Structure 1
Amino acid sequence: MLPDDLCARLRDTLLEQGFTTTGVRALLGPGAHAALTRGELEAPARATRDAGTLGALVRLFLLGGAEEKPPLPELDALVAGGLLTSGPEGYRAAMDLRPYGEADVGGEADWYVLSDLDTPAARQDRDHVTGVGGASLTLASSLIRTPVRETLDLGTGCGVQALHASRFSGRVVATDVAPRALEVARATLALSGVRTVELVEGPWLAPVADRRFDAIVSNPPFVPGPARVEYVYRDSGRAGDAALAGLLADLPARLNPGGRAQLLGSWLHVRGEDWPERVRSWIPAGCDAWILQREVTDPALHVGTWQRDAGLDLSAPATRAAASEWLDWLDAARVEAVGFGFLLLRRHSDDGAGRPGEVVVEDLPGELADPLNLEMAEWLDRIDWLGAHASDEALLGARLRLSPGATLERYSVAGAEGWTDAGAAVVLADGPQWRHEVDEPAAALLAGCSGALPLDDLFALLSFAHDRPVDALVRAALPAVRELVRHGVLVPA
């Protein structure tokens, strides 16, 4: 693997040549860049024809092309370090090296992510180190950016989450069970100029058994299946979702009070069991948790998706035999479907004493219009506010206002005499776009939430306007008000 000093010189060269996310996007233009993200190579190849040294780097590292003499330092050392190969056609990339970045209030970060080539043959290697994929981007976009002293990146792989964590952490500790993954992550960090990450080898939380952190981030092996490890990046070695359940049980001991953990995971929908209650049972006492189910797949789609991800020929006899074994296991475990989504956990006490943890398990509706990081941070703030207003008296004395992103939608159904009003819903236009059905008194209450009056005064006005007993309105509406606060439809004034 590439030594740190060579990575530093390579980084300088790549930056000088403009091989950055901004530089590549500007060179290719919107159409060719979009084609590249779809895996269509001809349009970006045409855009690099007269693009000089930057074009050569794009062809070499992003298009899989051969270059007679790439504009890079110490080519022989890059070959010896495994980044390049040389042959009659010239030099080719032996690993995936691509620019990566993140923009925030601190400016644009120019990073480089190293990983194994994303080819069918390479993906079938047991120790294959994946690069920046959909799961990595999904998790990164959900990370709370509130500054912390120290973050643990559990199962770092190529080091993507450690890069992001370095932006809001004084120090990052990154672990992995695979020595090769740590070597790749070390090169990724050196190529990115990030020096605040400590790399530690070992399984799960074992390498940090005597340490605590302010934040933990993990994209763990979360694919439910038989107890096996065919691919280290994917398989936990434990049957079904037992590894995720065990990890959630162990995480609080590695968090400082108030510390947070964010991860992706998959859970089984088992016949005869309520899946939210099943997942909720995994959360230890003394913790708040938000589990957001993003996708649900049937067993056949689950198996096919991960066989395609491994680059397997789905029609090959060996692949079909493996699929049959996997489906047999799911059937024996009474699995009806497999869920996937986000998990946010916060430790709020040392011993589980004090207020009970707020544990919410729900589906995430529709397409995500915005990254989830702000929503995750605000959710924790909102449940803290609700905890401080846990009594009906405290909540009724609070002033709330309707979120600026909330709209009221009314809908009708067609009947024999035309359209008939069928209901209404308040919908958030930003974030997860939460939707809540409301009746007329609830719609009127929301319209009155401007922050000028406490809730008890609004209920009194509502009682007079709708000729309904105020106590009945309060009993019916307060649980919904708490839900609307938790989803950010109503916010403290």
Structure 2
Amino acid sequence: MNSELPALSAEVCAKLRTAFQDADYDADGVLTALGSSAHAALGRGEPVPAHRASLDAGDLGTLIRLFLLGETEREDAVATALGPLGVGEAVEAGLLRAGEGTGLRAALDVRPHGDEQGSWWVVSDLDSDQLGRPVTEDHVLGVGHASLSLIRATSRRPVGSLLDLGTGNGVQALHAARHARRVTATDVSERALRLAGATFRLNELDVESLRGEWFAPVARRRFDQIVCNPPFVVGPARVDYVYRDSGLAGDDASALVVRQLPGFLTEGGTGHVLASWLHRAGEDWADRVSRWLPAGTDAWFVQRDVAEPALYVGTWLRDAGIDPHSNEGKAKAGAWLDWFADNDVEGVGFGFVTLRRTDSVPAIVCEDLRHAYDDPLGGEAAGWLDRVDWLRAHGANLAEQTFRVPDSVVLEQISEPGDEGWATTIRRLHRTDGPGWQHEADELTTALLAGCRGLLPLSDLLGLLAMAHGVATDELTAAALPVVGELVRHGMLVPHDQPEHGG
């Protein structure tokens, strides 16, 4: 465990904020000082270009080398860059520590983090590279790929109340403050709440912070939205690192969150969760995660990756700064892989879960989206829930609705040569935005969609199509409606009076 808790008081944070503002130590300022090439190299873990670019950046350069590169800086340079915060105050608060010689180094990771509306500062612990050793059990992780993924997968429609369950460094709460009137952040770790509190004070945000396990700190309360990046690492029931290990075996941590979260939502409230699930021999992953759900819950499970056990174990060992070749690494890997083998685990799935409390018959969909796409999933999640609602309201008379194919949908056709020339063998619909949905289609489906221009109801189009192809209208309608419903759910067919996609 880290021996001392940092004490970044409101006074210390106010002075530090002034220093950062005076030096332009924010997301735009750092990018401008480093330039796009060195900034990109820093993101890849290559510090030398950023170091060279920082040398001509004055106080901002000192802050970049101190907090982003983990270098030792002269005390006089640090004093100038941090003014009005005194060096002694910064050391006492746990922000700085002694470096080589008479220099100073950062004792905490404090770095800019921005979105399209502006910039914040996020306080976390130094990683293993900067520490030169594995991190401690109560390590508070910085803004990593998982955090960024959840940020992008969260819908941002205005809400009254939002719960950030397991806040860590507080970055989810920062983004939540953009669209939620009231934000509550919880964590089991005292150190995490201490650093998240510093993040909130540094950014002048009023966030309710509560300590406790899982949902215990907010018992009997409900929220309009809940976001959660839980300790979802899958394996034996142990806690090596609080930020990733729950003490529950297998995927029980993800199951617990998915099972309990809807009970803390207001009617119609939504939840966004990062989760992992086991792929076990003879078991469908979709069946597994669907069993986690309580009654009255819409759920959209999106699987973004599946890792085989050896790769999974090696990745998480390196994440903690443990050399897989070391005796410790070999022992941990052996025990971990033994657990996977004993439990018939063939892989570990990872992805996003969108949940909504509903009093209607719930919609539960599990989809594999392992292909690459760039669009954030948050807007798509909100749109998916809207389309589920629309299908509930209009599903009984779907044939009477009028649709159009949005401009983002294209048709791919693949043909092969035959005795009578080229013959189309594959017809595939693509949505070119969002998560890049794809649907195989037959000739009749593509002909039906060609007529969906927002002018005629589906029943008329199906009648015309049946007549043209010499098939019974009832049979064609029965075959077409499930396909139409799926295309509507994926935003590839849009009711003529509705916008293309949610946000």
Decide whether the 8 Å contact of 2:139 with 2:242 is kept in 1: yes
CA distance in 2, matches of 1:487, 1:322: 42
Deviation string 1:266-321 (CA, Å, 9 cap, x unpaired) is 00011111110111111111110000000001111111111111110110122112
The aligned counterpart of 2:29 is: 23
CA shift for structure 1 position 37: 0.4
Residues 127 and 135 in structure 2, CA contact (< 8 A), matched pair in contact too: no
Cα shift readout 1:71-95 (whole Å, capped 9, x = no counterpart): 1021111111111113424221111
- 1:16-165 to 2 correspondences below 5 Å: 16-68=22-74, 69-70=77-78, 71-72=81-82, 73-87=85-99, 88-103=101-116, 108-120=117-129, 121=132, 123-165=134-176
Match of 2:231 in 1: 221
The equivalent of 1:252 in structure 2 is: 262
User: SS in structure 2 opposite 1:390?
Assistant: helix
Paired residue secondary structure (2:278): strand
In the alignment, which residue of structure 2 is the partner of 1:384? 389
Conserved? CA contact 2:322–2:328, under 8 Å: no
Match of 1:316 in 2: 326
Mapped partners of 2:22, 2:350: distance in 1: 41
AA aligned opposite 2:377: L
Q: What pairs up with 1:414-433 in 2 under 5 angstroms?
A: 420-433=423-436
Per the alignment, residue 460 of structure 1 pairs with 463
Amino acid aligned to 1:43: P
Using the aligned pairs only, state the percent identity: 52
- Superposed CA offset, 1:413-446 (max 9, x none): 5789996532110101111000001111101111
Q: Cα RMSD (Å) of the superposition? A: 1.5
Q: In the alignment, is the contact (CA less than 8 A) between 2:304 and 2:369 conserved in 1?
A: yes
SS in structure 2 of the partner of residue 445 of structure 1? helix
- Structure 1 residue 123: Cα displacement: 4.5
Letter matched to residue 356 of structure 1: V
Aligned-partner Cα distance in 1 for 2:443–2:226: 44
Q: Match for 1:327 among 328, 333, 337?
A: 337
Any idea what SS the aligned residue of 2:395 has?
coil
Paired residues of 1:365 and 1:433 also in contact (CA < 8 A): no
Out of 211, 218, 223, the residue aligned to residue 208 of structure 1 is: 218
Are the equivalent residues in 1 in contact too, given 2:230–2:275 (CA < 8 A)? yes
Counterpart of 2:398 (choices 391, 395, 409) is 395
Q: Which amino acid aligns with 2:180?
A: S
Aligned residue number for residue 292 of structure 1: 302
- Alignment of 1:2 with 2:8, yes or no, is yes
Quick one: which of 268, 277, 280 aligns to 2:278?
268
**Residues 310 and 474 (structure 1), Cα distance of their counterparts in 2 relative to 1, 3 Å cut:** same
The answer to whether the 8 A contact 1:111-1:193 is kept is no
Structure 1 residue 66, shift from structure 2 partner: 2.1
Counterpart contact for 1:116–1:122, Cα < 8 Å: no
Query: What is the CA distance between 1:464 and its match in structure 2?
Result: 2.1
Q: Does the 8 A contact of 1:66 with 1:89 survive in 2? A: no
Q: Flag the 1:313–1:378 CA change in 2: closer, same or farther, 3 A.
A: same
Q: Which amino acid aligns with 2:368?
A: D
The structural deviation recorded for 1:452 is 0.8
The total of aligned residue pairs comes to 481
Letter matched to residue 377 of structure 1: A
Distance 1:410 1:89 in 2: 69
Counterpart Cα distance in 2 of 1:365 and 1:402: 25
The separation in 2 between residues aligned to 1:246 and 1:56, in whole angstroms, is 45
Please list, as runs of the form range in 1=range in 2, the aligned pairs for 1:167-206 lying within 5 A after superposition. 167-195=178-206, 197-206=207-216
1:352 corresponds in structure 2 to none
Rounded Cα–Cα distance in structure 2 between residues aligned with 1:55 and 1:416: 71
- The runs of 5 or more residues in structure 1 that have no matched partner are 350-354
Aligned residue identity for 1:15: Q
Q: Distance in 2 between matches of 1:326 and 1:187?
A: 35
Asked if structure 2 preserves the Cα contact closer than 8 Å seen for 1:365 and 1:434, the reply is no
Could you state the TM-score of these two structures normalised by the residue count of structure 2?
0.93
> By how many angstroms is 1:466 displaced?
2.0
Aligned partner of 2:491 in structure 1 is 488
Helix, strand or coil: the match of 1:389?
A: helix
Paired residue for 2:4? none
| Contact 2:128/2:320 (8 A) holds in 1 | no
TM-score by length of 1: 0.95
Change in 2 beyond 3 A, CA 1:122/1:465: farther
Residue 244 of structure 1: CA displacement?
1.7
Task: Give 5+ residue unaligned stretches, structure 2.
Answer: 1-6, 497-503
Alpha-carbon distance in structure 1 between the residues aligned to 2:163 and 2:417: 56
Secondary structure in structure 2 of the residue aligned to 1:19:
coil
Distance in 2 of aligned mates of 1:122 and 1:262: 34
Instruction: Report if the CA contact (8 A) 2:406-2:493 is conserved.
Output: yes
CA distance in 2, matches of 1:253, 1:67: 51
